[in-house]
A and B are shown apart, each in its own frame.
Chain A
């Protein structure tokens, strides 16, 4: 089992390296000595500003958004016993970003800064709850994914409606930012607003991870070996809702990371959903930081949106994983 023991140290080292690279790379490359000096409080004010106000918060935002989506994806896959379950595919991210846009649109966001994260979380919990109610009624994962498609379409349509009615081009461009997903110009203030929800969600999922292993045997046998099914469903739904809602509040809807990372991690942890949670979170964070570096370095006239790049890579991976599945599994 050396592969499994090496997994976590490798992921942690790669994550630290990726976040440092994100601080290092950019329109003006900082030499390593100036970067280190800026990180540890020395250096000129300009360098400190670039690192502490722009690059580091952006990298950390990308990382925790990725981690939240990765752990939610891995947990939902364990709960629904399907590798295609993920906040984006199940319509959770879209519902969350719809609610966040709603809060922005009606100016609720100007009352308290907590309005956007809380609205996003309400959207995420509603969608996750609906999916789970459906999961109790049907064993067919195809049905669940179709419900997710329906939720996504509905959230998309409601979003388009808000855009149609947008009072001015500025709020329009704000909404498009939410729909496409981005971590550009994030500050530590915004991270502080989303982080408690992401941490609470992640901790809930982590604390109840053993039940996901039990569900490998199906619900009947899982109950037989002593799992409290109802409790597990509630905790996983709430945990994934909190984490995804927090992630959407910070970066808008970013899809597919929650599928790709657990899929790659699973063989390293003996296909055990419980053991896949933390490595999937770290790996998803790593993927988004690297994708965000790519977005920043691409010489395009307007900066690409992180969510667009994630979907460009993730959607084909989703199709590929779906095609790998043997028929008759549902």
Chain B
């Protein structure tokens, strides 16, 4: 079973500390929400955890091996990554973009065979994109594009997934659809770490919430334990009322 273990990672950029001595674990069967205000260091933590950014201290282990000892291909087969910005340089077809998810398995675009073709079909099916498979991506709506990127990440069929703000700028229905897709992915025995800004949705979907502020992980635990009015004030600086998993934000504190 693959897991990602981040141990005491720090990331420095020039004089500022982006991530300060952060540790967390992502295992299979977990839906982890990574929360925190803008600039808290969530993306830096993820990138350092994936080995895409060098850490000044600490260690990140994927399946028991340091990530920087893995080749990019070996890493990509174990952990799929959906970054925050998702530009598409060319107006490819939906199927071609999703096929890129099989890159680490060596699949060339346009000539997928066997397991690669099946994985792409499963990802298209799971994300409700079979009818759109032949469409050019520059003709899609924001919600459809979000599902294409999800399908691209799913197509790798990696045991773990990290998604950085996958539901930003989506309407409520599309937000639920994307999170449902990720939950279905987790229900297949995989693990997902998702950066979210909607605390309500995070509490509803996540099995664990990791709270970050100023580069530090302030709390890590199930929503029932870590979602409190005090935490909302500490982390986000907002006055909030918490009733079970329901949250009402009244305003800036």
* A interface, CB within 8 angstroms of B: 1, 4, 81-82, 210, 213-218, 220-221, 223-228, 266, 269-275
Contacts and interface: CB of A to CB of B under 8 A. Distances in A.
Interface of B: 50, 52, 71-77, 80-93, 96-97, 100-101, 103-104, 108-110, 136, 152, 156
Contacts of A266: 90
B96 A217 contact: no
A174 B88 CA distance: 45
A216 B88 contact: yes
Contact of B103 (A81, A226, A271): A226
Contacts of A217: 86-89, 97, 100, 152
B129 to A, nearest CB: 16
B28 to A, nearest CB: 19
Contact of B86 (A218, A227, A275): A218
A225 B100 contact: yes
Q: Which 4 A-B pairs have the closest CB atoms?
A: A226-B76, A224-B81, A226-B104, A81-B89
Contacts of B90: 81, 216, 266, 271-273
A4 B81 CA distance: 31
Given A221-B81, A225-B101, A226-B75, 5 more contacts: A214-B100, A217-B87, A218-B83, A270-B92, A270-B96
A227 B103 contact: yes
Nearest to B84: A220
A272 B96 CA distance: 8
Nearest to B93: A270
Contacts of B104: 225-226
B109 A270 contact: yes
A4 B110 contact: yes
Nearest to B108: A210
Contacts of A1: 110
14 contacts: A214-B103, A217-B86, A217-B89, A218-B88, A218-B89, A221-B81, A221-B152, A223-B52, A224-B80, A225-B76, A225-B81, A269-B110, A272-B90, A272-B110
A216 B92 contact: yes
Contact of B92 (A4, A82, A225, A272): A272
Given A214-B100, A270-B110, A224 B89 contact: no
Contact of A225 (B71, B91, B93, B103): B103
A226 B109 contact: no
Nearest to A215: B89
Nearest to A209: B108
Contacts of A216: 88-90, 92, 97, 100
Contact of B72 (A81, A223, A269): A223
Contacts of A225: 76, 80-81, 100-101, 103-104, 152, 156
Nearest to B99: A213
Contacts of A269: 110
A81 B87 CA distance: 10
Contacts of B136: 271
